[in-house]
Structure 1
């Protein structure tokens, strides 16, 4: 890699005080560079000694970061040749037939999930919300828009709408909406999901660290209480380079 290429490993680019161990920050930075295309498939990482010098860290730190990249399937180590970007690692699989939250899905895979709340509050329902949730124009909905990440990598955007009596105060929701609903005895037990494809707007692309116009998965979910009442309407945008949604089909009687 040339001087301009190696500049992406300079500490000013990736290291921030208080954001965790250096090896973990370096790992996350390289993951982001791979996913954004800044580090192209089959490109070679600098040798361990050179990368340690460029990043101003110890060789042990570089070794730990690269080992995690290898474990995640993002980098190949070729004997006698060095470390090479494999491209996108194995995609995360999520069943379309299981009602599981993003947080629970990441936890089951040993990934650290996080949520950044982009907006939330109580609002008059839109026509779509009124129709889907069975609301009147005088009712209000709680809206919660979140950027969902795993191990610091942006994965999805979710906009959830719930009737006010189900979620009176959206400020109380932490990382997991479903965890809160279970605690209140209001968790849904079934859902209908519709899957499609869209192209990212400029705002969406910036949040997900992807190119404008990139194709992603769009999933609309309506979730129901055991009584059959719809209590959640979520519009989600998921990175198609990182996600596979799986549906199991069975032969009918």
Structure 2
């Protein structure tokens, strides 16, 4: 039985430090990502897993709960626990200002977007403050589910003054391509990134369990003149995205 070799005492012992449930979690994750446990394969009940691994059911439950939260396992009511399709991590640099479409194209991914909202609206108070809008102005909103190789990775909700994007219906692929066409492509941006637990409605769109780890990102983008052109709130899958920043020691900085 393949699970017996995957969950052997030697495998758990070699899984590194930490509580036993973390070792069990690591061993199961490596088996899923390595293809030893295939997509759609059903796991035995917790009682049987505990017997195979020679651990308690509490240990099994904690390890499985972690993998469900990370999207590697999925529980189906009345059916059991099954292996999900593992998602390859995407690394995005924080030093380059690119659109999702451009970023994925550089990696050779096929991208598409499912439109959630697009149109011209009266701005919210937050949009007026972030975009520096005056009373009586309108805002273009574009909300999309972004996919790479048919895997949903992010939900993007962008707000742009109609001064810069008077016809949001022209945005079919890349927002930045359309802003470039209208002469309003941003040249710099400030991003604020925070960890979050994905709420049920967004989790359903992203194909992950409610409460799974996510990355919430607010981006404010600027023209060369210093004017704000874009305010975007994005939600990225925590199991599919890593943001990477390069840091260097300044000439006048002392070594730590």
Deviation at 1:252, TM superposition (A): 2.4
Q: Give the SS at the match of 1:182.
A: helix
Q: Give the SS at the match of 1:252.
A: coil
Q: Give the SS at the match of 1:180.
A: helix
Higher alpha-carbon Rg: 2
Distance 2:121 2:195 in 1: 28
Distance 2:39 2:127 in 1: 49
Check whether the contact 1:160–1:233 (CA below 8 A) recurs between aligned residues.
yes
Partner of 1:195: 193
Q: Please list the CA deviations of residues 127-153 of structure 1 after superposition, one character each: whole Å capped at 9, or x if unmatched.
A: 111111101231110000000000111
Partner of 2:107: 109
Check whether the contact 2:186–2:229 (CA below 8 A) recurs between aligned residues.
yes
Partner of 1:19: none
Distance 1:45 1:200 in 2: 23
Distance 1:139 1:45 in 2: 50
Distance 2:84 2:158 in 1: 35
- 1:146-157 to structure 2, matched below 5 A, reads 146-157=144-155
The answer to whether 1:138 aligns with 2:133 is no
Partner of 1:217: 215
Q: Compared with structure 1, are the counterparts of its residues 191 and 163 closer, same or farther at alpha carbon in structure 2 (3 Å cutoff)?
A: same
Q: What is the RMSD computed on CA atoms of the aligned residues?
A: 2.4
Alignment match of 1:173 (pick from 171, 174, 191): 171
The answer to whether 1:208 aligns with 2:206 is yes
Q: Give the SS at the match of 2:103.
A: helix
Check whether the contact 2:39–2:84 (CA below 8 A) recurs between aligned residues.
no
Distance 1:206 1:190 in 2: 32
Partner of 2:23: none
Distance 2:134 2:213 in 1: 35
Deviation at 1:45, TM superposition (A): 6.5
Check whether the contact 2:87–2:239 (CA below 8 A) recurs between aligned residues.
no
Q: Compared with structure 1, are the counterparts of its residues 137 and 108 closer, same or farther at alpha carbon in structure 2 (3 Å cutoff)?
A: same
Q: Compared with structure 1, are the counterparts of its residues 192 and 211 closer, same or farther at alpha carbon in structure 2 (3 Å cutoff)?
A: same
- 1:7-156 to structure 2, matched below 5 A, reads 40=32, 42-44=36-38, 88=86, 90-156=88-154
> What is the total number of aligned residue pairs between the two structures?
180
TM-score by length of 2: 0.66
Partner of 2:52: none
Structure 2, unmatched stretches of 5+, are 2-28, 41-71, 73-82, 252-256
Distance 1:123 1:170 in 2: 11
Q: Give the SS at the match of 1:165.
A: coil
Check whether the contact 1:124–1:137 (CA below 8 A) recurs between aligned residues.
no
Structure 1 segments (4+ residues) deviating >6 Å: none
Q: Compared with structure 1, are the counterparts of its residues 153 and 89 closer, same or farther at alpha carbon in structure 2 (3 Å cutoff)?
A: closer
TM-score by length of 1: 0.66
